[in-house]
Chains A and B, each alone.
Chain A
Amino acid sequence: MAKKTYDLLFKLLLIGDSGVGKTCILFRFSDDAFTSTFISTIGIDFKIKTVELRGKKIKLQIWDTAGQERFHTITTSYYRGAMGILLVYDITNEKSFENIIKWLRNIDEHANEDVERMILGNKCDMTDKRIVSKERGEAIAREYGIRFMETSAKANINIEKAFSELAEAILDQTASKDSNNENQVVVVDRKNQEKSPAYRSCCTS
């Protein structure tokens, strides 16, 4: 068999209200660039990036989702198969922070049970416009037992770190699964992305 350019493939998902900076975070991570023009994501996009963790090459396939309200039902069908989810809010936008609870509930309902989660308070470069304090972010993360970080796609703060910590958490998980279950191959669940996902109808909720 041809040699692979990676040892493991992790599927990650970015969710959160529209405009909080999901697309920018992904763009910063994959292309190390930032643009301030806002083009709302109308659908599902993905990028890949290979990182090395503990001597293993891990190919991250990161899915960026549309945050708009009307797409909520439809985007949840992409949760299945995600091994890690980044929940993003905007520290200058109270509503986006409050909605984190809603997004968490969505994850509970639709994502794999053992999905690794992480909350990101984005746009932390905008200190003068800050509305959500870091403490509130930490508090909610503590309450749900989730990792938390403040990031800035614009100033490139904590972006790499967020992804590699999440990937590391997944790696820990797969590693412990492996040791429980000898010789079990890490199942890279990529089926959902090509197989027609089981979307749920979107207009009735």
Chain B
Amino acid sequence: MSDNIKHATFLTVEKKFRQGEVVVAILEAYQIVGAEHQNRILAVVKSGSSSALFSFDCYNYPPINLSDLHITSVLPINETFLIDNSTAGYGVSSHQFQIMSGNENLTYYYYPDEETLRSKEVFEKILKRLIQEYTEENGDFSWLQAYKSSDFTEIDYNIASNKFPPKNRESKFREELERRKPEYTMYEPYKVYCATWNVNLNQPVEDLSLRELLFTTNDAPDIYCIGLQEIDMSAETIIKSETRPDYNWIAKILEGAHPSDIYEELVTVRLVGMMLTILVKKSIRSSISKICTSMVGTGTLKFGNKGGVGASFQLNETCLCFVNSHLAAHVQEFERRNEDHDEILRRMQFNDGFKSRNILEHDQIFWIGDLNYRITIADDDQIKMFCSYDKWFYFDQLHIEKQKKRVFRDFQEGKITFKATYKYDPGTDEWDSSEKSRAPAWCDRIFWKGSRIEQLAYNSIMQLRMSDHKPVYGVFISYILTRDEQKFKKIHEEVLKTVDKFENDNQPQLVVAETDLDFGIIQYHEHYSRELLVANNCHLPAHFKFLPKSSDNQRNEREKVCEDWIKISHPKGELLTGNSLSIRIDIFIDEIAAPEIMKKLCDAKTGVKGPLDILVLHIENGRDIFITIFGEYQPSVFGLRLDTLMKLNKPVLEYSLKELNEIECDVNNLIPFYNSAKGPREIYLMIDYLYRNGLNIPHLFHVLRKHRLSPRICAIRDWLDTWSVEPFPGTPQTAAEVLLKIFESSPEPLVTITERELSIYLPNFERCRELVQNKIPLLNRKIFLYLIMFLKEIQRNYMTNGMDDRSIAKIFAPALCRHKQDQLSQRFLLLFLSNDIKEFAKIEFDKN
């Protein structure tokens, strides 16, 4: 796979996993399931210190969607984990490797291209390293549970039990097409003509004609299968294991074919003395596909002086196989012949580049050749005199061995009515008169296996005399499964419809009880929560997650699932069939959220009642559901600008959102404010209260703010927001906390001086004072100085309250300046706490 595709694949695989689970490496491979090649993507995934190998079925290549990948296996990399190449064999199986872990033992195949082989090396290296790294202590595989419970076991169980069709669209499609095959296919008769001849090293001399052998029927055969043996047995051809076809013989065969039709050589396969040539009528050539050949040399040296050659192809919808073999010689060697036969069966593999199949994995098989089995009786002359197979079959080794099911199991042979085909004096019809005077035998035979085959003729040709064998031929009617293209097209369309429906029906579905969540009135600093009930009523496990949305403005803000002040109890998860889940949605408006929500509501045209947010609940491989969060935010003094607070002339609750918005936007201070006041009412009230009740309280302001959240804050909020005339409903500590919160919740910091500016002017007090004068707007400046005056008072009571200038600076610097780092702002505050600012403040307070 190209790097791009590999990268894309990698990204998709990554998406299958959760946070903290790292995909270390991937490898493309395939598995052979039944008669099918299935793409697999293997991924090594690490989580914490343990790792595992995941195998994915890859429905679409390259995988883009999560649905393109389905987990087929999960193997923990533990002490039982093993990757094994040693089972590799010939052909396709040389790319075989096995992966084992626990009781699982899976066989995969590499794609034999260079890229894959390279990634395979890396992949194996990583696996080996992880195997070494494994120890019992770090073997926590509980994270694998998530993958086993749904995606994996569920689907696997369905497929295994055949209860449901597998989820894959493509395999559903194949399955449907296969199921409906009888509707668009029929059997059509084809004539198959087989002939075998041991030519005993004779060359195809000029005046030889094979017509006598190949033209014995009126109708022209559709397929010829001609097997020759001993075309050449010279030491040289044997040592070279010669495989080049002998064109002289092929020419003779073509010449000899039935004259009333035109034939072409489909394929020839040769090994030393054996050659198999397939001729087909030109008119059927286009119905043939997946042509491939195979050869097996047997015997001790396996050079190929004995063995078999085979050809395989598909005619319409039927897979055909032809084998020509020459088995071990000599009367007593019948067991060697059995072995040769078995070895050919075992080792002969036909690989069309996509799939590999052995001899028996064909619909119809024709096996011909000089099988060399003899007749074992003492008195040869008897056979010579009454040479009828009927009389002697009982002594035919082949008959005996087949009866014992040692060879040609489940193969059929026609009735033999011809004389023994071996051994004659060449050029005559006389039995072997040489010194050895071999006993006659039916060495040359034709077997077949498969349904819908009828033999029409089985005979030898006495007139072909050049060899010590007589040739044998067999004629068959073979019924071939053929597709009716018109019907097929129609059914194909129907199947596509079925598959579409199947895919639509196999979208995981979740139902939610309600898509609108109304939180009612939302106030600052209160907790609110609502339950979102989600149920899985469909027949598939469903994975869900809330999708992030990028922010409206393009300011590179991080993508968020929802506003920061909304919390979702289950941002993602899975639900098995029949299960439901209550997802809790919490809202809490704190000092950071208050100005945000104010701003958001002011920007929105929809008004207060509009949606506060919309959540996108995404179901993997399925729909997205929008969950709308409604709520009416009640503005509070918390979250408003400090200068806005100075411009309010009635309780904040009595302002409409629109009015508040106008005041918030009044940057040029066109709206009148209390110019006599040093700060807003709220700050004044807190500071005033603390002056009177808090100066001597130990640790009035505390660094550990989190622990000081008090329900009284809400009471104080109401007290402030309504301008209540009741006594202050809090304590000095809560007043102190509220004071800080007012500063923290304003949209902008009180001290609008940057870290950089401070770094230039520190530690010079005069210069810093100028900074305050120039950089902080008047209203804020007044508040700042007012606050500093108050903090100096706190500091003065250090002996009783324990608050020195350092701890004061430490607490107030972040709240007032909001810098990334607080060192400079602390030093800045210290400077003002330790210098006399009375004069400065007096002048500023008088300004308008």
Q: Does B605 contact A (CB under 8 A)?
A: yes
Cβ contacts under 8 Å, B604 to chain A? 203-204
Q: Which of these, A45, A49, A198, A204, contacts B600 with CB under 8 Å?
A: A204
Bound-complex Cα distance A57 to B495 (A): 13
- Also in contact, A50 and B496, with CB within 8 A (given A71-B614, A77-B549, A203-B606): yes
Contact yes or no, A66 B61, CB < 8 A: no
Interface membership of B500, Cβ < 8 A: yes
Residue A145, interface by CB 8 Å: no
Q: Cβ of B626 and Cβ of A2 under 8 Å apart?
A: no
Q: Which residues of the other chain, A, contact B61 by a CB distance below 8 angstroms?
A: 1-2
Roughly how many angstroms separate A149 CA and B496 CA in the complex, as a whole number? 27
Complex contacts, A43 vs chain B, CB 8 Å: 515, 616-617, 623-626
Q: Which chain B positions have C-beta within 8 A of A193?
A: 65
Report the separation of the CA atoms of residues A44 and B614 in the bound assembly, to the nearest whole angstrom.
13
Question: By the criterion CB–CB under 8 Å, are A50 and B549 in contact?
Answer: no
The A/B interface has a contact count, at CB < 8 Å, of 112
User: Is B559 in contact with chain A by the CB < 8 A criterion?
Assistant: yes
Interface residues of A in 153-205 (CB under 8 A from B): 188, 190-191, 193-205
Q: Which residues of B contact A49 (CB under 8 A)?
A: 500
Q: Which of B199-232 contact A (CB under 8 A)?
A: none
Bound form: Cα–Cα A160–B491 in Å: 20
A residues 109-130 touching B (CB-CB < 8 Å): none
A5 and B549 in contact, given A52-B493, A203-B604 (Cβ under 8 angstroms): no
**B601 — nearest CB in chain A belongs to which residue?**
A203
Chain B residue nearest to A75 in the complex (CB): B626
Residues in B neighbouring A50, C-beta threshold 8 A: 496-497, 499-500
Chain B's closest residue to A45 (CB) is B623
Chain A residue numbers with a CB within 8 Å of B620 are 194
Interface residues of B in 773-829 (CB under 8 A from A): none
* Chain A contacts for B551, CB-based, 8 A: 200-201
Give the shortest distance, in Å, between A31 (CB) and chain B (any CB): 8
Instruction: Render A20-60 as a binary contact track against B, CB cut-off 8 A, 1 for contact.
Output: 00000000001100000000001111111110100001000
User: Is B3 part of the binding interface, using a Cβ–Cβ cutoff of 8 Å?
Assistant: no
Q: A43 vs B499: C-alpha distance in the bound complex, in angstroms?
A: 25
**A200 contacts which of B37, B499, B549 (Cβ < 8 Å)?**
B549
Contact of A1 among B39, B500, B613 (CB under 8 A): B39
User: Is B504 an interface position by the 8 A CB rule?
Assistant: yes
Is A4's CB under 8 angstroms from B504's CB? Answer: no
Number of interface residues of A (CB under 8 A): 40
A104 contacts chain B at the CB level, 8 A cutoff: no
A42's partner among B59, B64, B559, B626 (CB-CB below 8 A) is: B626
Given contacts A50-B499, A196-B559, whether A3 and B552 have CB atoms under 8 Å apart is: no
Cβ distance B680 to chain A, nearest Cβ, rounded Å:
28
**CB of A74 within 8 Å of the partner chain:** yes
Q: In chain B, what residue has the closest Cβ to A71?
A: B626
A134 within 8 A of B: no
Cβ of A203 and Cβ of B600 under 8 Å apart?
yes
Are A203 and B613 interface neighbours, CB within 8 A? yes
Determine whether the beta carbon of B626 is less than 8 Å from that of A203. no
Task: Tell me whether A70 is interfacial, beta carbon within 8 Å.
Answer: yes
Taken together as a complex, chains A and B put the C-alpha atoms of A197 and B626 apart, in Å, by: 14
Contact B547 A199 (CB under 8 A): yes
Contact residues, B576-618 vs A (CB, 8 A)? 600, 603-606, 610-614, 616-617
| A5 vs B170: C-alpha distance when bound (angstroms) | 6
Least Cβ distance of A190 to chain B in Å?
Answer: 5
Q: What distance in Å separates the Cβ of A149 from its nearest Cβ neighbour in chain B?
A: 23
Query: Which residues of A sit under 8 angstroms from B170, Cβ to Cβ?
Result: 2-5
Chain B residue at minimum C-beta to C-beta distance from A59: B500
A 131-159 binary contact with B (CB < 8 Å = 1; else 0): 00000000000000000000000000000
Q: CB distance B64 to A74 under 8 Å?
A: no
Does B628 sit within 8 A of A, measured CB to CB?
yes
C-alpha gap A50/B503 in the complex (Å): 11
The complex places the Cα of A73 from the Cα of B550 at a distance, in Å, of 11
Q: Name the distance in Å between A114's Cβ and chain B's nearest Cβ.
A: 20
Question: A198 touching B559 by the CB < 8 A rule?
Answer: yes
Counting chain A CB atoms within 10 Å of each CB, which of B493, B507, B548, B628 scores highest? B628
Do A2 and B623 have beta carbons less than 8 Å apart?
no
**Given A2-B37, A44-B623, residue A57 in contact with residue B496 (CB < 8 A):** yes
CB-defined contacts of A199 to chain B, threshold 8 Å: 547-550, 559, 616
Closest Cβ–Cβ distance, residue B461 to chain A (whole Å): 46
Q: Complex Cα distance A191/B68, Å?
A: 12
Q: Shortest Cβ distance from A65 into chain B, in angstroms? A: 10
B693 at the A interface (CB under 8 A): no
**In contact, B500 and A196 (Cβ under 8 angstroms):** no
Decide if the interface of chain B is mainly helix, strand, loop or mixed.
Answer: mixed
Point out which of A195, A200, A203 has the most chain B C-beta atoms below 10 A from its C-beta.
A203
| Interface presence of B451 (CB below 8 A) | no
> B38: which of A2, A74, A204 is its contact (CB, 8 Å)?
A2
> Which residues of chain A have C-beta atoms less than 8 A from B65's C-beta?
190, 193-194
Q: How far is the CA of A1 from the CA of B29 in the complex (A)?
A: 10
A70 partner, pick from B59, B497, B552, B614, beta carbons under 8 A: B614
- Is A70 within 8 A of B610, CB to CB? yes
- Interface: B60 (CB within 8 A): yes
B802 to chain A, nearest CB (A): 47
| A204 and B628 in contact, given A30-B504, A45-B623, A199-B548 (Cβ under 8 angstroms) | no
Could you say which of A4, A30, A71, A205 contacts B552, with CB atoms under 8 Å apart?
Answer: A205
Name the A residues within 8 Å of B547 (CB-CB): 196-197, 199
Known: A48-B504, A196-B547. A203 touches B610 (CB 8 A): yes
A46 with B600: CB separation less than 8 A? no
How many whole Å from B235's CB to the nearest CB in chain A?
A: 47
Q: Residue B173 at the A interface, CB < 8 A? A: yes
**With A47-B504, A71-B626, A196-B559 as given contacts, are A5 and B496 in contact (CB-CB < 8 Å)?**
yes
How far apart are the CA atoms of A194 and B64 in the complex, in Å? 8
B209 → A minimal CB distance (Å): 47
Q: B15 an interface residue at 8 Å Cβ cutoff?
A: yes
Q: A43-B624, A43-B625, A191-B64 are in contact. Are A2 and B59 (CB under 8 A)?
A: yes
Is there a chain A Cβ closer than 8 Å to B169's Cβ?
A: yes
Nearest-neighbour CB distance to chain A for B64, whole angstroms, equals: 5
Chain A residue numbers with a CB within 8 Å of B550 are 198-201
Whose C-beta in chain B lies nearest to the C-beta of A5? Answer: B173
Cα–Cα, bound, A7→B308 (Å): 42
A104 to B521: give the CA distance in the assembly, Å: 37
A interface footprint on B487-514 (CB within 8 Å = 1, 0 otherwise): 0000001001101110110010000000
Cβ-based interface call for B106 (8 A): no
Q: A42, A45, A77 — which one has the most chain B CB atoms within 10 A of its CB?
A: A42
- Complex contacts, B88 vs chain A, CB 8 Å: none
**Which chain A residues border B549 with CB–CB below 8 Å?**
74, 77, 198-202
Contact, CB under 8 Å: A4 / B60: yes
Task: Collect the chain B residues with CB atoms within 8 Å of residue A195's CB.
Answer: 15
Task: Give Cα distance in the complex from A198 to B547, angstroms.
Answer: 9
| Residue in A closest to B111 when the chains form the complex, CB atoms | A1
- Chain B positions 154-179 with a Cβ under 8 Å from a chain A Cβ: 169-170, 173
Which of chain A's residues has its CB closest to B509's CB?
Answer: A45
A158 to B624 alpha-carbon distance, docked (Å): 28
- Asked whether any CB of chain A lies closer than 8 Å to the CB of B66, the reply is yes
The chain B residue sitting closest to A51, CB to CB, is B496
Q: List 20 A-B contacts (CB under 8 A).
A: A1-B39, A2-B61, A2-B170, A5-B169, A31-B504, A42-B625, A50-B497, A66-B626, A70-B610, A71-B614, A71-B626, A194-B15, A194-B66, A198-B549, A199-B548, A199-B550, A200-B550, A201-B549, A201-B552, A205-B605
The 10 closest A-B pairs by CB, nearest first: A199-B549, A201-B552, A43-B625, A44-B624, A198-B550, A42-B515, A202-B614, A45-B623, A194-B65, A5-B173
Chain A residues with CB under 8 Å of chain B are 1-5, 30-31, 42-50, 52, 57, 66, 70-71, 73-74, 77, 188, 190-191, 193-205
Q: Known pairs A5-B173, A194-B65; list 12 more (Cβ under 8 Å).
A: A1-B61, A2-B39, A30-B504, A31-B504, A42-B625, A43-B616, A71-B614, A198-B559, A201-B550, A202-B614, A203-B604, A205-B552
